[in-house]
Structure 1
Amino acid sequence: MSAPLPLSPDALADRLAALLAATPPEAGATAVRVALDGPDVAAPERLAAQVADRLPALGRSTLVVPAVGFLRPASVRLEHGRTDPDARYTDWLDVAGLGREVLDRVGPGGPGDVLPQLWDVERDRATRAARVPAAAVVLVPGALLQGVGLAFDVVVHLRVSGPARRRRFPAEQQWELPAFDRYDDEVDPAALADLVVLADHADRPALVVQGRYA
């Protein structure tokens, strides 16, 4: 594990892109499968977009597949109400769908194309999206992505500490806090990740290199 390296947001995206560009896919796989795992306040989708913008110049085509396109139907997610933190932790993400339609398809022996979105949360119905060819790097930004058996090759965890979550989560998302506390306690996502972005302050991130990059 490296010491935390303070970076500007742009320098962080540069550094992550450089590391991912130098990472080969698993034998027999189409793509390097990368999770950008963090709560909404850490903006994992924005970081994924910034990294994706940089990778083509480094010789790696990129596809961003947000995990929010693989949430389960409202009848399952909200069975116990709209603000149940246990359901947020265990019932929101369609783990099987994300694995089947994205990660397995670009992994070893997969056909090499993916479904970019399975469920339209706003309309609460299947999107009927067409499959698209995968790129050399597939980035999956989202929350609570570790510890559920998803086949990622690289995990970038956007670490927002408990006190910072309580400070930064907007009022309408405060009910989610116990889910992220439970995630820290049961999964310890920062320990499992290959790269940890210390994101208590959005404008002053720091990068910890560990796992496969140590």
Structure 2
Amino acid sequence: RQATIANNYFHIASRGYNRDVIMVGGDRDLMVTNLLIDNNLVVNWPGAISVRPPAASQIMNNITISNNAYYQDLTPQPNGNLNNALVGVFNSYENLASFKDNKYFHYNMHDRPFVVGTSLTTVDEWAENVEPSAEFHTLSSPPPTLGIDAYLSSIELNGDLQDFIRQARQMSRTNPQSNFSASSVIEWFTSQPTIEQMLSAE
């Protein structure tokens, strides 16, 4: 059977965060076959998708990453590290995963925006060896951020994700209709302009 991760909107506002939004593989016993990651929108998420090399006890094959759109600010971190890649893929040259028809929208891109194995890789190397059908588009400004801090501001509160989690645990139990219920948060986020609309308005 085929498993699918599709039609999701992944948006992170905390620029220092450096975990993968989707990771395939890792250090656990698993079998991953016939996995399709398709038509997702990923904004400001460094190293968005990571395909890890399988351990001896793992089986991985027929993994397809296609038709996704990535919007990324690639400005180097304050420490000078180029750790904010467009996509991070381990052992992609060994055909653990196939990439096709993904679109990469970038701002301030450095010369090695992909991670393959443990090495930073250029756009030309990625297009030649991994994804000939990739599209690259340059942004004139960083992708807009839309995080939980913006939601808190909309209900006249200040704070970050940890503040939201702390208050949500308290208030959603006693008042399911509060601004901290899942339905309220989802309704607000889905009512906001899309990344394409925000960029076209600039």
Q: Output the TM-score relative to the length of structure 2.
A: 0.27
Q: Higher helix share goes to which structure?
A: 1
Higher RCO (CA 8 Å, separation ≥ 6 residues):
1
Determine which structure has the larger strand proportion and give its number: 2
Using structure 1 for the length normalisation, give the TM-score.
Answer: 0.26
Please tell me whether Structure 1 or Structure 2 has the larger radius of gyration of its CA atoms.
2
